[in-house]
Structure 1
Amino acid sequence: MVTNHDGPIIRKLAAVPTATGLAARLGVAHLERSGINPAPLLSRSGLSKADLSNHTRISVLSQIELLGQISLATKDAWTGLTLAQDFDLREIGMLYYVAASSQTLGDALRRIERYARVGNEALTVQVEKTSACRIRLSYTGVPRHLDRHQMECFVFALLRVCRQITGKKLAPIKASFVHHRSGNLDKMRRLFGCDIEFDAYADEMHFDPTVLALPLVNADPFLNEIMTQMSEEALSVRTTNTSPFRTLVENTIAPLLPHAEASARVVSRRLGMSERTFARRLAEEDLSFGEILNQMRRDMAIRYLEEDNLQASQIAWLLGFHQSSSFSHACRRWTGKSPSEFRLR
């Protein structure tokens, strides 16, 4: 279990999703280039250098925690983008090759949609083709509100893949992330080539639908057939980690908080349940909606209070409190300190 200053924020799940650990390996290499010993950070994240060197599958939760630790150690608020910016995309492995050998970008995205979980069991990719091509990423089995660096790394790496396999400097029409960001966003806008929305309802990129027909520079039907077969075999042997109901509820609540819409009524509707059925499902797991909402707000408040550029009134809004005083009272209940006292510590 991973802890922060005042107690556990990442709970041990019944079936923790695993990943190949590419983002973690990129992070460790970045630390070493920066002259920082990765061992203490790996230890705090429940990992070892041997795990990464041997390409052992690792907990997705541990990878999320490690990227957060790297951000603090390097004082780089954009760690996910830093890691995704320059690495050789072939390091992604099977998923890259099954996409790159496809005929069109649409074909490649369908391969990524199907096989993304081979690389990271928590990751779900959905490609929707309506008036725009919408590529949405989400987590199952992992609380989304505990992460920002891994998701930013994934989304930008996916954009780089689309650019490399088409040989074109593709730019989304728009991109959005569930988590909060403030301050200067010029770096992210420059890398993506579009405006970025934060505190959104989904992690996604929108493209003109015509990009789906773009031919790929290394299309190879024979290689693609082999890679598709290998990907199917890998998918069939991967253990499916069903998302615990609590995590499903948390990931539904997270994008609703800044919009003050995190109520049992709204969440149950988004989950396709009546409020009565929703309450019964929670009770079956000895949970309550209020308990989950309170724990999430506590976890996120501690993270936000570590960001100097966020005022208490802004944090109150991000957490869905109608008044700053309500957030201050809650902070005292969670930590025994007011927001300003917690920051001084």
Structure 2
Amino acid sequence: MPTSIGLAAHLAVGQLERRGMDPAPLLARSGLSQAAVAKREHVKVKSVIDFLDRVSLAVKDEWLGLTMASDFDLREIGMLYYVAASSNRFGDALKRVERYVRIANEALVVRVVHGSGCRIRLSYVGVPRHVDRHLMETFAVTLLRLCRQLARRDVVPLSVSFAHHRPDGRKMQRALGCEVNFGAPEDAMDFDAGVMDLPLAGHDPYLGQLMVKACEVAIAARAARISPFRTEVENIIAIQLPHAEARAKAVARQLGLSERTFARRLAAEGLSFGDILDQLRRDLALRYLQEKRPASQIAWLIGFNQPSAFSHACRRWTGKSPLEFRRSSEMSLA
């Protein structure tokens, strides 16, 4: 199970404490140790994602990731900050982030793709993407802040995209200063190609050499984790659901497998495509119901052609209609 240095959990604890709220109960429900978070020890990324969801509800902040990422000292990122900050050019800093990001978070993959512009792709390994909103938004906002601080100028992306859905993304758009798309095929940030050549004011070749050596030792000591096959399948399905393309054949094609080989791989792990699809739909539906989205929109987002099909599935999952489940959830939070 991938782990991280727990910076997001640490920042979320701060959000609770500033409001006079005790973080201990929420940490415990998410399977996190208060001492481990306080000491910035490695904690499970999936537990951090769950904790951020709980904190978001507790403090009534739908944009918790944006809130947290907007004002903390970037040096709290640790080694990753210093190895990037000591680089010569902006493009060099991104290459170092791409290579060494797993020191801070084993689940996060950063890929820098060059073309007519520059695209920074963010993705997860070993963690289902569909369960998260706040942590990925924390990553994206933090990365943009890092870019601006290192270049000492207001670097503005051409666009930013997130794989998860938001009914209204204008707050994020105002914060980032560019077009922001939710429900996109991937999490990414697009920049003008010229940004890569920006010189960094903090360039220090001696510090950079020391930090690169230290980071190489760190990643050698902490071997990269391999994404479970189920997680790969879930992450593909989550993107395909709103387009009604979540079929075994389509997922197999995305994985580069024949449909027969795909079925064998699932069976070897005691899985079936139908069970994974149903569980994923359930997880997403319950999240969207808490966000007070219309049932018709939820039905579309999780790949049902009719709201009635979603209502039937909701009763099978929870024993309640969508409206009944939403009311019971609101009462439990009151």
Instruction: Please state which band the TM-score falls in when normalised by the shorter chain.
Output: over 0.9
In structure 2, how many angstroms separate the alpha carbons of the residues matched to 1:255 and 1:186? 22
In structure 2, how many angstroms separate the alpha carbons of the residues matched to 1:160 and 1:57? 24
**Deviation, structure 1 residue 324:** 1.0
Equivalent position to 1:133, from 101, 118, 128? 118
* 1:267 and 2:243 aligned: no
In structure 2, how many angstroms separate the alpha carbons of the residues matched to 1:290 and 1:224? 50
Aligned-residue CA RMSD (Å): 0.9
Equivalent position to 2:74, from 78, 81, 89? 89
Look up the equivalent residue of 2:218 and give its one-letter code. Answer: A
SS in 2 for 1:86: coil
Q: What is the aligned partner in structure 2 of residue 231 from structure 1? A: 215
**Deviation, structure 1 residue 55:** 2.1
Q: What is the aligned partner in structure 1 of residue 276 from structure 2? A: 292
Q: What is the aligned partner in structure 1 of residue 295 from structure 2? A: 312
Q: How does 1:80-229 map to 2 (within 5 A)?
A: 80-183=65-168, 185-229=169-213
* 1:69 and 2:54 aligned: yes
In structure 2, how many angstroms separate the alpha carbons of the residues matched to 1:58 and 1:242? 17
TM-score of the superposition, structure 1-length normalised?
A: 0.94
In structure 2, how many angstroms separate the alpha carbons of the residues matched to 1:278 and 1:291? 14
Higher mean C-alpha displacement, 69-78 vs 263-272 = 263-272
**Deviation, structure 1 residue 48:** 2.2
Q: What is the aligned partner in structure 2 of residue 31 from structure 1? A: 16
**Deviation, structure 1 residue 161:** 0.3
Q: What is the aligned partner in structure 1 of residue 234 from structure 2? A: 250
Q: What is the aligned partner in structure 1 of residue 331 from structure 2? A: none
In structure 2, how many angstroms separate the alpha carbons of the residues matched to 1:258 and 1:264? 15
Q: What is the aligned partner in structure 2 of residue 51 from structure 1? A: 36
Look up the equivalent residue of 2:12 and give its one-letter code. Answer: G
In structure 2, how many angstroms separate the alpha carbons of the residues matched to 1:70 and 1:91? 21
Look up the equivalent residue of 2:325 and give its one-letter code. Answer: F
Once the two structures are superposed, residues 207-259 of structure 1 have per-residue CA deviations (whole angstroms, 9 ceiling, x without a partner) of 11111111111011111111001000000001332111001111111111111
Look up the equivalent residue of 1:75 and give its one-letter code. Answer: K
**Deviation, structure 1 residue 186:** 2.7
Equivalent position to 1:338, from 284, 308, 321? 321
Q: Percent identity?
A: 60
SS in 2 for 1:46: coil
Residue ranges of structure 1 left out of the alignment (5+ in a row): 1-15
TM-score of the superposition, structure 2-length normalised?
A: 0.97
**Deviation, structure 1 residue 54:** 2.1
Equivalent position to 1:321, from 301, 304, 310? 304
Residue ranges of structure 2 left out of the alignment (5+ in a row): 329-334
